[in-house]
Amino acid sequence: MALLQISEPGESPEPHTRRLAVGIDLGTTNSLVATLRNAVPECLPDDEGRTMLPSAVRYAEDDVEVGYTALVHRGDDALNTITSVKRFMGRSVTDLRDESKARYQFTTASGDGKGQLKITTRRGSVSPIEVSAEILRALKVRAEESLGGELYGAVITVPAYFDDAQRQATKDAAQLAGLNVLRLLNEPTAAAVAYGIDKYVDGLDQDAEGCYLIYDLGGGTFDVSILRLTRGVFEVLATAGDTHLGGDDFDEALAKHALDSWQLTRALSPAGQANLLAASRAAKEALTESEAATIKVNWGCGFDSSVDVSRETFFAITQPLVERTLSAVKKSLRDAKLKVDQIDGVVLVGGATRMPHVRAALEAHFGKPPLATMNPDEVVALGAAIQADQLAGNAKPGEQHLLLDVIPLSLGIETMGNLVEKVIPRNSTIPIAKAQEFTTFKDGQTAMAFHVVQGERELVSDCRSLAKFELRGIPPMVAGAARIRVTFQVDADGLLSVSASEVTSGVRAEVAVKPSYGLADGEIASMLQSAFTNANDDMQARALAEARVDAQSLLESMHKAFEEDRALLNDAEHAMLTSQMGYLKQLAQGNDHRAIVRASEDLNRASTEFAGRRMDKAVQRALAGKTLDQIA
């Protein structure tokens, strides 16, 4: 008797096989790859049992070295050994901070500092995407050797505050490394997945409902997200953070302290800078367990410098960095409309959360110790592995989890008067699609240009430009008659696409938003702060812009009416309306929006009789030569 293989919905076609899927934490300092074995997530080690792969790539004379072998040459071959490349993803040269510019030699294809960033090495210029691809390729090889087969796909984690360009750059790097990206997953959400399943960790009940704050302080980025966990559903309520704040900044603070104490008169070479940062990082890690540590750097030629640093000193010089993270924590609580006592637990993610004063600050703020039952270096990769296993179709019914992430900044479109019309507000759950209708401004308009922007301010000039495209072939109509439907779609990876179509004719245009570089350092956080600080000014600016647009439209309508029906007015009426139009035009060049509105209303009232005469003339023209029977 023949046997039939049966696969349940959501399972792979052959029940006896599992698709090999992994979760990858592409970190600033270290990267990891994890998978599920016997329903338990675990990070995959290298041949020497080390799960972490330093995010370092060295371009040697005849080879590309990745990880520990590259890190060895950080001091003696600094310009060709690239570390912390995650900070450069999706950015231009003009976006970089001064300390980053001093570390490597940067160029761009465009030559103006605004194109795709390139890092100069002995083997030519390489982009951050190419460097990241080398790290991902090494993790892919490790996974396939460990699992004994070809990978079906991977879930790759990104900071929640990565913008569209940075996410796209990460996806491009994965494609270059030969990886099938199942999903880009926000790092705090991945951590919540790992912590939210009780069979993987003691201390949390899978069936418990509550709100958790994920505090993710990695090597180069900081994220804080608030999630509500409800029986397998992970809903992000709010997110905040800084794409240029992490353990590297604590290292640099220690390095600056050491330089100030040594009072060196000569600028450091790239090799000297790399050695100083390495020594500072080692001292920072030592201070996690010890009360004191020494920063010692050998400059060569028998000359070295050293300085002792106490834990108290380290805490003092880096406390402003901790305060920056707490500011983001407070903001996320406001956005989620939650109070401190409504947070059921604080989950620590990222190796930098091992610093005692970071944990002490969180415990003081929330009145309870943070959750640290899992390795903060591994928790993101473990959560990504769980999600990858589900997306590969390996999870059984009842083991699947719904992840509802959010976007960090509002998305909108430019309208007349340099105004921003927000289509998708920040902290909206993704994936999401929203549409809004717009219309033409001039009679006979057959094309429309669209400018997609990102930010919280009211004026386009205060927001970030994402993309521009045009819709052509609009049937000529009077101003305001066309119906242009603009649709914004953000997928589960947080990537945006925008389309526009004219409803009556069906003509359509669309664009996949893929900027050539990302937001400037800390720009998202500063955009939000700027929006809050300038809210009143923005309202005034928007009101002024709207008043000017309405006045311009009214004036153009009046000029057209004069051209067509001047004969319907006597000289006195024409002079009166012309005077009011001149007054309105003069006011529209000023900054008093209330005066502009009043003048527009006065002109509308004064021209009501003229409008009525024009209407009568149009009706008479339409009825001319027709009998009553024809009209009926």
The CA distance from 386 to 39, in Å, is 9
Mean residue pLDDT across the chain: 80
For the chain, domains (ranges, CATH) are 21-246+317-405 (3.30.420.40), 247-316 (3.90.640.10), 407-533 (2.60.34.10), 536-623 (1.20.1270.10)
162, 88 contact by CB (below 8 A) = no
Q: Strand pairing partners for 512?
A: 497
Task: Please tell me the predicted confidence (pLDDT) of residue 342.
Answer: 92
Task: Please tell me the predicted confidence (pLDDT) of residue 316.
Answer: 93
Of 319, 353, 346, 318, the closest CA to residue 332 belongs to 346
Task: Please tell me the predicted confidence (pLDDT) of residue 431.
Answer: 77
287, 293 contact by CB (below 8 A) = yes
pLDDT of 350 > 90? The answer is no
Whether 86 is catalytic is yes
Chain centre to alpha carbon of residue 251? 25
Whether 216 is catalytic is yes
Q: Within a 13 Å sphere around the CA of 518, how many CA atoms are in the beta-carbon half?
A: 26
Joined tokens for residue 144:
């396939």
Secondary structure string (H, E, C) spanning 126-170: ECHHHHHHHHHHHHHHHHHHHHCCCCCEEEEEECCCCCHHHHHHH
The CA distance from 225 to 539, in Å, is 29
Higher pLDDT, 221 or 107: 221
Question: Among 65, 86, 134, 235, which one carries the catalytic annotation?
Answer: 86
Provide the 8-state DSSP code for 35: E
Of 53-62, 325-334, 441-450, the one with minimum mean pLDDT is: 441-450
Of 141, 37, 3, the closest CA to residue 394 belongs to 37
Of 392, 291, 271, the closest CA to residue 11 belongs to 392
pLDDT average, residue stretch 188-192: 83
Joined tokens for residue 23:
């979760």
Residues 6+ apart with CB under 8 A from 317: 253, 254, 257
Confidence grade of residue 6 (pLDDT, cut at 50, 70, 90): very low
The CA distance from 83 to 105, in Å, is 13
Whether 187 is catalytic is yes
The CA distance from 211 to 213, in Å, is 7
pLDDT digits over 232-249, tens only? 667 788 888 887 788 889
Question: Among 130, 163, 164, 216, which one carries the catalytic annotation?
Answer: 216
Question: Among 25, 248, 251, 523, which one carries the catalytic annotation?
Answer: 25
pLDDT digits over 369-400, tens only? 998 777 888 989 999 999 898 888 876 655 55
Strands 419-424 and 411-415: antiparallel
Question: Among 65, 77, 163, 187, which one carries the catalytic annotation?
Answer: 187
CA torsion through residues 133, 405, 183, 218, sign:
positive
pLDDT of 89 > 90? The answer is no
Strands 210-217 and 181-186: unpaired
The runs of H, that is alpha helices, within 492-534 are: 523-533
Task: Please tell me the predicted confidence (pLDDT) of residue 397.
Answer: 53
Provide the 8-state DSSP code for 27: -
H or E segment and range at residue 113: none
Task: Please tell me the predicted confidence (pLDDT) of residue 476.
Answer: 85
pLDDT digits over 603-624, tens only? 888 888 888 888 877 777 766 6
pLDDT of 335 > 50? The answer is yes
Q: What is the pTM of this model?
A: 0.62
pLDDT average, residue stretch 483-490: 84
262, 240 contact by CB (below 8 A) = no
Q: Strand pairing partners for 349?
A: 216
Task: Please tell me the predicted confidence (pLDDT) of residue 2.
Answer: 47
pLDDT digits over 406-434, tens only? 676 788 888 777 788 888 887 677 778 88
426, 410 contact by CB (below 8 A) = yes
Task: Please tell me the predicted confidence (pLDDT) of residue 204.
Answer: 45
Confidence grade of residue 534 (pLDDT, cut at 50, 70, 90): low
The CA distance from 551 to 556, in Å, is 9
Amino acid identity for residue 400 in this structure: Q
Q: What is the DSSP string of 402-431?
A: EEEEE-SS-EEEEETTTEEEEEE-TT-EES
Residues 6+ apart with CB under 8 A from 212: 192, 195, 226, 227, 228, 229, 343, 344, 345, 346, 347
